[in-house]
A and B are shown apart, each in its own frame.
Chain A
Amino acid sequence: MSAALVYALLGLGLAVLLSVARGSMRRLIYGGVFGIAIAFVAFPFVQSLGYLTRETVSPTLLGLLPRYPLLALVPVALVAAGALARRGGQMAALGGIVAGALTLFTGLFLIGQPAGLVRLIPLDGLMELLVALIPPLLLALLGRRRAKLRWPLIGAGVLLGGLVFFWLNSSGGGHLYLPKMAGYYRLLGGVEPGLERRIVEEYNAGLEERNAILREIGQPEEKPVQSLGDFKGRIPQETAAQGYRLLQPSQLQYGAFAVFILAGLMLGAGLVQLRRPQLQEPGDLRSGLILAALVGVLLPAFDATEFALQKLVKGWPFLVSFMDKAWPPNLTQINPSDPERSIFPLQSVLSEMALTIEIALVGTFLAAIFAVPTSFLAARNLTQGSPLMRGLFAFMRTFYNVDRGVDTLILALVFVAAVGLGPFAGVLAMAIHSIADLGKLYSEAIENVERGPIEALESTGTAGVNVLRWAILPQVLPLFVSYTLYRFEINFRVSVVLGLVGAGGIGYFIKGAMDGGNYDQMIIGVIAIVIVVNLIDFASSWLRSRLV
């Protein structure tokens, strides 16, 4: 309850803060309307438990609607606020205040409810339908600008969507590969009266039998229960299997965060705009949609990445002790009694750093060697002559796109398996991945050459290859060199990481030191990387600025 109020106050304060800068308030109201609408249908609001952890269902507000019909007030208020916001001025302000307050109170009412049993109502086919809607929508979007193709495209989209829907719903298709999809979206309904007593009685009736088994295996026996509260937030296995859950309205999920903060924002924006109705702009609807889209994308992402600063607070002592152990760096350690067992970390760092630079040099060089000729085939303006050239163009572009998708690190893992640990695997991986990146940059440089010199050389009767040699190459060569240098910069940083997967270099040293707990050796590597990265960036950008 208090958390919800803090969220709401946060939103309110944010609105007031933004009003200081004379920003439009109406866009905040719009943002609140759309954001809460998204949260209402898509964000988990609270949670409901079963017997096992994986039986936990986190319902959205829409999912809770059958259990608490009062929640219907929220969408009604949102629609009203949206409509009033269109009219602007104090009407918009009133809409924001009323909808914000209503959402706030409905939400607070909900989370103030006691825990109770609910029944799951899976919506079969809903997720399947949503996925199946993607192809028709995409194709309709594609056909928007093409009057002639519009209807065939939409027709094809509907057909495709239908096929997708059919496939997803079939037991041999979608439900085989995506088993979670079936009935993923669930509503929570009320339960028949007397269910709680029945569950308690059934549990107590079966107690004798279960305790007999528990005695047999030497486990503590279970005691009879008086009410659901005695289960301590869980429900018996059989009840959960029958599709019942224990709804805990006080366990807030990120949807509650979104709803309360946005409701506070709407309320605050409405209050400000009531006093200053001129705080609105023509593009508010658009800005509101963007705000809502940001909320709609970012919040689930934060939740999925388990973003929690508390963990950092908890882990702080580790960081402190790490720094304690890492400083001062252990540059060398002579063992007087047994010189054979002396270690020289600084020496290792320097050797490994040299190796790292050498991996980047060889990888970039090999990539450039292959990218130069292929980039000419991947340049649109040079390959429109014959069907063969167009085919080569399509092939090269496809190769580049696939290759760009497979990162150096992944390639390195594969090559380490194939050619063994060591820098050779790293060089291969780097060369192959960089071909695509360099080739794409090169071919774009070729596509952007000035047409004039080409036309001039053609008009002197020069043969095609010589036009390439004398009109295009002089124009693109400095760019090629510049891109290659830039790629070398990137490749150096990549080759630092390559060591972590066993492909040699400074990363390998750091991983070894880290695994052995020798933080005072590892820190030398880190410092060396910082210095060399900056040196290389500086040198390369200086060189590049002289080239172009």
Chain B
Amino acid sequence: MIEVRGVSQVFQTKNGPFQALKDVSIDIPKGDFVAIIGRSGAGKSTFLRTLNGLLIPTEGSIKVEGLEITRLSKRELQKYRRSVGFIFQQFNLVTRLSVLDNVLHGRLGYLPTWRGLLGLYTERDYQIARAQLEQVDLTPKESARVDSLSGGQMQRVAIARAMAQEPRLMLADEPAANLDPVLSEEVMRILKRFNEQLGMTVVINIHALDLALEYARRIIAFKKGELVFDGTAAELTDELVDEIYERREMAA
């Protein structure tokens, strides 16, 4: 489904250019559940953001279902993005609006601009949004303002918003990092369920190694912008983990 070929990303910072991704190539087939691990600043978030076009790579090509997404016009990019869900660590909800309003935002990409401006969603949009709220058990909270919710509920709203896009691909950037262990498990279970029941491809950045090993079918690892591991959970030995997290140097 996704073919990444020779992708590099260079940021111009105050201290000169910083290479966040170095010549990354990888294939992700449809229906896969991939967890990306690595230390902070290893390029995980950058990689995820290049996959939905929030960042355009400096070099290389990314094909999603045959569509080259690094060279899309603004309009085409918006069309591509509506088919890709994205879940953020900070939830990124509009906290002053209601739960339902936030979930409906997942449908904005499908509406003509003027209808979007006036908030004139179709009946189908409402059905989808309500169905997704039911999937994450938040139907009773439908009209509550988001800032009255707990962290776990907020992340579920964010998941419902992403699911309301009816995405083919779900990207998640540390979706559980701001949640306690129980809620983290719950978020991972929800994603796993979507993956298994709907065959939706999931790519997820994650710090918590145990969650990655438990839920992901495949694990890839970044170290200083380079892809250093690609395999199943079973293949990820303790030595490799130490290598990825550079734990040996710290211990010494």
Residue among A460, A475, A478 making CB contact with B165, cutoff 8 Å: A460
CA distance A461 to B86 in the complex (A): 11
Contact yes or no, B88 A452, CB < 8 A: yes
Q: Which of A110-118, A160-168, A464-472 is near enough to bind chain B?
A: A464-472
Contact yes or no, B94 A474, CB < 8 A: yes
Contact yes or no, B81 A458, CB < 8 A: yes
Query: Which chain B residue shows the least CB distance to A463?
Result: B113
Residue among B81, B94, B161 making CB contact with A461, cutoff 8 Å: B81
Q: Which of A423-468 contact B (CB under 8 A)?
A: 450, 452-453, 455-463, 465-466
Contact yes or no, B117 A460, CB < 8 A: no
B29 interface hit (Cβ, 8 Å): no
Contact yes or no, B94 A471, CB < 8 A: yes
Contact yes or no, A460 B92, CB < 8 A: no
Number of interface residues of B (CB under 8 A): 32
CA distance A461 to B167 in the complex (A): 11
Interface size class of A (residues with CB under 8 A): 20 to 34
Contact yes or no, A455 B79, CB < 8 A: no
Contact with B along A460-501 (1 / 0, CB 8 A): 111101100111001101100000000000000000000000
Q: Which of B148-202 contact A (CB under 8 A)?
A: 158, 161-162, 165
Chain A residues within an 8 Å CB radius of B80 = 461
Contact yes or no, A475 B81, CB < 8 A: no
Chain A residues within an 8 Å CB radius of B85 = 460
Chain A residues within an 8 Å CB radius of B161 = 456, 460
Given contacts A453-B92, A455-B92, contact A461 B79 (CB under 8 A): yes
Contact yes or no, A470 B105, CB < 8 A: yes
Query: Separation in Å of the A491 CB from the closest CB of chain B?
Result: 27
Contact yes or no, B81 A455, CB < 8 A: no
B97 interface hit (Cβ, 8 Å): yes
Chain A residues within an 8 Å CB radius of B208 = none
Chain B residues within an 8 Å CB radius of A450 = 92
Given contacts A455-B54, A458-B54, A470-B105, contact A463 B116 (CB under 8 A): yes
Chain B residues within an 8 Å CB radius of A453 = 92-94
Chain A residues within an 8 Å CB radius of B232 = none
Query: Which chain B residue shows the least CB distance to A452?
Result: B92
CA distance A458 to B83 in the complex (A): 12
B106 interface hit (Cβ, 8 Å): yes
Chain A residues within an 8 Å CB radius of B30 = none
**25 A–B contact pairs at CB < 8 A?**
A452-B90, A453-B92, A453-B93, A455-B54, A455-B88, A456-B86, A456-B88, A456-B105, A456-B158, A456-B161, A458-B81, A459-B54, A460-B81, A460-B105, A461-B80, A461-B82, A461-B83, A465-B116, A465-B117, A466-B117, A469-B117, A470-B97, A470-B101, A474-B94, A478-B96
- 17 other contacts beyond A452-B88, A456-B158, with CB at 8 A cut-off? A452-B92, A453-B92, A456-B105, A459-B54, A460-B85, A460-B162, A461-B79, A461-B108, A461-B165, A463-B108, A465-B113, A469-B117, A470-B105, A470-B116, A471-B94, A477-B96, A478-B96
Query: Which B positions have Cβ atoms within 8 angstroms of A?
Result: 52, 54, 77-86, 88, 90-94, 96-97, 101, 105-106, 108-109, 113, 116-117, 158, 161-162, 165
